Structures are given as C-alpha cells and as structure tokens.
Structure 1
Amino acid sequence: MRKFIARLAAAALTAACLAASAADPFPNKEIKLVVPWNAGGSNDIAARQLSSILAEDGIRLIVENVPGATGSIGMTKVANAEPDGYTIGMGTSSTLALIAQGLTPLKNEQFAPIARVTLDPLVLLVPTGAPYAKDLPTFLDYVKKNPGKVSIGTPGNNNLNHIFAVMTGRAAGTEIIAVPYTGGAKVITDLAGKQIQAAVLKPSESKGQIDAGLVKPIAVFANERLKNLKDVPTFKEKGYDVFPYGPLVQMAYLVAPAGTPAPVREKLTQIFHKAIQSPKFRQPTEAAGAVVDDVTGAALEREINNVQKSLNEVGKKVFVAEKKQ
C-alpha cells in the first residue's frame, strides 16, 4: 500500500509539473548555472559566454561560482537543488576522478546530463625565461636532477591535471610536487610570477599569458598536436607515454539534478544545444584551443560513463601508487 501511495504521489507530481509547464512555459525565470571553480578559469569563461548568448533569446542565465574540493562542493549544491530545471551545474572530468577514488559522496546517478560544453586538451607550461624552459627534454632533465623538488600547479587535486602532473614526473623517472589550486586562473597567475615551476592547464586558461610571452607551452598531453599550438610537440612524439593505462579526456558538460522532469530536461537541452553550437560560442572557444562537439542527453550520459570507467582504473593505478611512495 505504501508503494502504491508513493507511485500515486510521484504521478501527481509529474502531472503537476506538466500542467505548470503548459500554463507557464519553461523557463519563466532566471536559471542558475553553478560553476564549481573560481571566476576567470576556462569553465567560468565558457559559462559567461553562454549567459551572454542566451540573453539574446531573452533567457537569463546567472553564473554562480562555488569553488572547492575539486568541484565537489559546487556539484553537491546542484545535486541537492530542487529538480525543477532552474539550478544546473557544470560537471567536469575532474569531479569524475574524485568519484573514481571515493573522495566524494557524489554519484553520477544524482545528475541528468544535458549537453557537453567542451573537450579540453591539457598542456604542460613553464615560465618563459626559466633555465629549463627550452623544451620538454630540458625540463624533464631538470626534474630528474631535482627529484621531489619541482612544483607543478594544477586546478584542483586528484583530477586529470594531477594525473598528468604525476605522469610528467614518471616520464623523468622521479617524483614531483603537485600543487593544487581552486581554479586555473590562480595557477596561471602564480606560474607567470614564477611561484611554481610548471603547470598542467588547458590552452584556454593560459592563452593570454602565452600570447603575452609570460609562459611557454612545452608539451601537449594528447596523441596529436593542437591546431592552435602547432609548434608544441606531444609527449608521445618525444617518446614519452603519458597514457599507460588508457586514454583520458578532460571535458566540461552541463547537468541538472536527477529527477528533473523530462519536458524540462528536453527544453534545457534545446536551449543549450542552440547556444553551444552557435558561431558566437564555437568560434572563440575553438580559437582558444578547446573542442566543441555535439553531444547531448543519452549520448552524453554514455560518454560520462565511459570516462568514469577509464578513471576508475587509472585513478587507482596513479594515485594509489603515488600514496605508497
């Protein structure tokens, strides 16, 4: 009887949502987009670009930065929000890495995937003018000669950036000091100021400093060179394998709380698909080094699950081994 009553209540709630939607089409007020990182980073920049584009269609998107715990704090806020479509969040592979290691109570089942925003290759950067800034072999030789002393900054901890920082040390046959920050903007500032010796960041987080000659990209964590960094080699072509446990991808994507009614999810997907695929978003985003593709809904859910599966394996082999050292 209790189960029957619960089903009736759920059906009544869905019917009420549908009736409300028909009477007052979604969205009829501002939508809050939680970005679980500091302002100024690539995810924040992308969110504010989308806000500007949606405003042209009369949709008000408010970006709220909730940094901390490698995205876990902000995404917990999204998971616990009312599932009405008016609070959504920007998930990333970094949070998936935390889930893989059991470092957050979050689960992917707490979210309803909406649309992928970007795929973001990661690069190794050093301060321009540093004695090891000539190229990747020079830097790795420096790391080898200074075991356990070279600091590599990353936005967050126990994430893909951290994984690649560790793999950089392994390419040199030694350990590094991974220095976690609450966002890419702070990493690049300290790198340009030579407070840290290297960083693992997205091109979009560092383009301004690269163009200004403050920092220098010396290697790409990918199998192919990037279109906007054609002179920067990959680790692979220099003979270093930074994917010994399988491919990894850094991505950012939009989610709503689980339980958001299907009509609302469909409307959110429609709204953000249009904005993400618009030239006003694609052109500057791709020029900054990110990849914009067309993955939404169920297809995005499959992508998230695939990345999660890889991270479940890689996280154990990288971070567990790191802790034992």
Structure 2
Amino acid sequence: MKLARRILLTTVAALGLTAGLASTSAAEYPEREVRWVIPWNAGGSNDIMARFLQPILAKEGLKVVIENVPGGTGAIGMGQVATAKPDGYTIGNGTSSTLSIIAQGKAPLKNEQFTHIIRVSVDPLMLLVPGNSPHKTLDEFMAHLKANDGKVTIGTPGTYNINHIFAEMTARGAGVAYRHVPYPGGSRVIAELMGGQIAAGVLKPSETMEQIKSGDLRPLGVFANERLEVLPDVPTFADRGIDVYPFGPVVQMAYIAAPANMDPKVRETLTAKYRAALESPEFKKFAADNGFLIDPLAGEALDKEVAAVAKAIAAVAEQTFK
C-alpha cells in the first residue's frame, strides 16, 4: 500500500511539473526563431510581403525564418504547417488561392487543421501584359482575344483559384476560349511575361509594382469595383462594361495560419506581435505604395471570414470551371 501511494504521489507530482513546464513554455514564447512557410516561389507577393515584415517583427520580439515551399497552389507548404507541432514555431501564409482548392476538394487539407492567427492583406488583382506588348489598352487586348479564339495565353500562379477565375472571366468577356498557363508562383508568371512566353497574366499590384514602374510590365485592367489609388489611370473591367463577377464576388486575401490545437496564450502572443507589425507606419506605407489593404482580422472574426471566403470561392468556382 505504501509503495502504491508513493507511486501515485510521484505520478501526480510529475504531471504537475509537466503542466508547469508547459505553462512556462507558453508564457515565455517565443524562445527561439519561428519557421514561416511561404507556400509559393520566392519573389511572389506573399514572399515580398513576408520579407518586408521580417525585420519589423524582429523589433517586436518575433524572429522568423522564411522558407519557400511552393507547389500545389499552396497545398504542399500549408500541408507541412498542418502537420507540424502546434507550439507556435511553425506558421504559414494561408491565401484565398489555397482556400479555393481546399473548398473544391482538390487538396488533402481541411480548414479545421489550422489555427487562424491574423489577416495580413486584402489584394486586388490585375490583368497585365509585357511592357513591349502591342496591346496598349484593355480594349485592344480584348479585341486581340476575339480575333484569336483559343490561341491567346494567360498565365496565373496556381490553378482553380481566384487568379484562374479572373483569367476565365477575361476570356468570357471577349466571348472566346483562351489557353490557361499555370505556374507555381507569381514570380514565375512575371518572368514568363517579361520573356514573352505568355501574352498576359493575372497578378497582384504588390508583386508587380517594380516591373510596372520600370516599364517591363503594363497593367491593362483591374478586377475590382473601383480603380486603385496607386494606379489611377488603369481602368476596372467594369469601366469597360465587362462583368468579372457573374457568379458573385470573390476576394483575394493572405493570412497567417498555424497548426490546429495551438495553446491560446501562444496564439494571443503571435496575434499581438503580428498586429503591431501590420499597424506599423512602415508597413502601412508599404501597403499604400503597393496597392493592397491592411485589415487585420483575428480570432473568431477571422475564423468566420475564412469560412465565408472559402464558401464564396467554392460557389463561384463550381460555376466557372464546370
């Protein structure tokens, strides 16, 4: 009996010590660098944004190591996040593109596998052509599509996502078919555009602004209801009478995600440090200069937004790709 009682007391003490260590670990988070998975090639919008945030986050006491894991329209990299330990030391960039393929059942992932931390950006998308393209306006490009039914190439980062939806809507606006060319990231689309390998691409301002300013790329139209302040001379498709939302509106956003079942204290710390970085004067200027919005939803509000965006994209994709 004495031996049994001693074993019981030892076990209880050990459990108490383990709980104490876990509590201390959560309280002291982060104790080391955090792996930040960007599920796209280097040079794309998510990669550019992450590398801009990296030194700002360091000032907030969160040192991140950025790792590019492209493939599967973001599914490969986010798959690594989903299966990592939920200790706050592996996080990833969720996007509407990955939400799209999850919602359509084209990736072996579920949103329930993630803890949603905070939204980083809401991004418009544009149709761009090479800077030396003979098509100077959206009207000219649409006329080119009509005259070359099924022959004109439009590149996108990934497939069955919002970029792909808008490429489809561009061709539908002309009433013709086109050739879709998918790549593992925006940087590849940019390279192929500048090399003249494709006629047009659907990309974000934040990943193309440098090439637009240098004249290497030319934006023809914005897939949005209003023109961008940073590119006021570029018309929306609606300005030209082209409906790119025939099945309902969709939004492109990026957010920080971690594995499910994360300690609430760690989630709170991550959220606070990212919020401080997103609301910093440096990042606000970066957003204004690159034509995207900062709307740092977090917690239950972000959970609801992720579910709503996934549902909307699934509904639009079902009509677009059937």
What's the TM-score once normalised by structure 2's chain length? 0.92
Sequence identity (%): 52
Other-structure match for 2:298: 296
Q: What does 1:117-128 align with in structure 2 at a 5 Å threshold?
A: 117-128=120-131
Other-structure match for 2:63: 60
Other-structure match for 2:148: 146
SS at match of 1:230: coil
- Separation in 2, partners of 1:303, 1:101: 17
Whether contact under 8 Å (1:228, 1:288) holds in the other structure is: yes
The residue type paired with residue 134 of structure 1 is K
- Separation in 1, partners of 2:188, 2:25: 44
What CA deviation, in whole Å up to 9, does each residue of 1:35-79 have, x standing for no partner?
000111110011111211122234311001000000000000000
More displaced stretch, 247-256 vs 288-297:
288-297
Q: Are 2:276 and 1:271 equivalent residues in the alignment? A: no
Whether contact under 8 Å (1:35, 1:66) holds in the other structure is: yes
- Separation in 1, partners of 2:61, 2:301: 28
Rate the CA distance shift 1:287–1:109 in 2: closer, same or farther, 3 A.
same
The residue type paired with residue 26 of structure 2 is S
The residue type paired with residue 21 of structure 1 is A
The residue type paired with residue 253 of structure 2 is M
Q: Are 2:51 and 1:21 equivalent residues in the alignment? A: no
Whether contact under 8 Å (1:286, 1:292) holds in the other structure is: no
- After TM superposition, give the deviation of residue 129 of structure 1 in Å: 3.0
The residue type paired with residue 125 of structure 1 is L
- After TM superposition, give the deviation of residue 15 of structure 1 in Å: 6.4
Q: What does 1:1-325 align with in structure 2 at a 5 Å threshold?
A: 17-22=22-27, 25-131=28-134, 133-320=135-322
Rate the CA distance shift 1:91–1:14 in 2: closer, same or farther, 3 A.
farther
Note the aligned Cα RMSD (angstroms): 1.6
- Separation in 2, partners of 1:233, 1:312: 27
- Separation in 2, partners of 1:218, 1:113: 34
Structure 1 segments of 4+ aligned residues over 3 angstroms from their partners: 11-16
SS at match of 1:94: helix
Whether contact under 8 Å (1:17, 1:261) holds in the other structure is: no
- Separation in 2, partners of 1:301, 1:279: 27
Length, aligned pairs only: 308
The residue type paired with residue 257 of structure 1 is P
- After TM superposition, give the deviation of residue 286 of structure 1 in Å: 2.2
What's the TM-score once normalised by structure 1's chain length? 0.91
What CA deviation, in whole Å up to 9, does each residue of 1:76-121 have, x standing for no partner?
0000000000100100000011012110011111111111111110
**Which sections of structure 1, spanning at least 5 residues, go unmatched?**
1-10, 321-325
What CA deviation, in whole Å up to 9, does each residue of 1:221-246 have, x standing for no partner?
00000111100111112101000111
- After TM superposition, give the deviation of residue 16 of structure 1 in Å: 5.1
SS at match of 2:29: coil
Structure showing greater radius of gyration is 2
- Separation in 1, partners of 2:181, 2:90: 31
- After TM superposition, give the deviation of residue 182 of structure 1 in Å: 0.9
- After TM superposition, give the deviation of residue 290 of structure 1 in Å: 1.1
- Separation in 1, partners of 2:234, 2:125: 12
Whether contact under 8 Å (2:277, 2:283) holds in the other structure is: yes
- After TM superposition, give the deviation of residue 304 of structure 1 in Å: 0.8
Rate the CA distance shift 1:15–1:316 in 2: closer, same or farther, 3 A.
farther
Other-structure match for 1:6: none
The residue type paired with residue 315 of structure 2 is E
Whether contact under 8 Å (1:223, 1:236) holds in the other structure is: yes
Rate the CA distance shift 1:234–1:59 in 2: closer, same or farther, 3 A.
same
- Separation in 2, partners of 1:162, 1:145: 22
The residue type paired with residue 167 of structure 2 is A
**Which sections of structure 2, spanning at least 5 residues, go unmatched?**
1-14
Whether contact under 8 Å (2:62, 2:273) holds in the other structure is: no
Whether contact under 8 Å (2:118, 2:256) holds in the other structure is: yes
Whether contact under 8 Å (1:164, 1:242) holds in the other structure is: yes
Rate the CA distance shift 1:14–1:73 in 2: closer, same or farther, 3 A.
farther
Whether contact under 8 Å (2:37, 2:68) holds in the other structure is: yes
- Separation in 1, partners of 2:19, 2:283: 34
- After TM superposition, give the deviation of residue 18 of structure 1 in Å: 2.0
Whether contact under 8 Å (2:39, 2:75) holds in the other structure is: yes
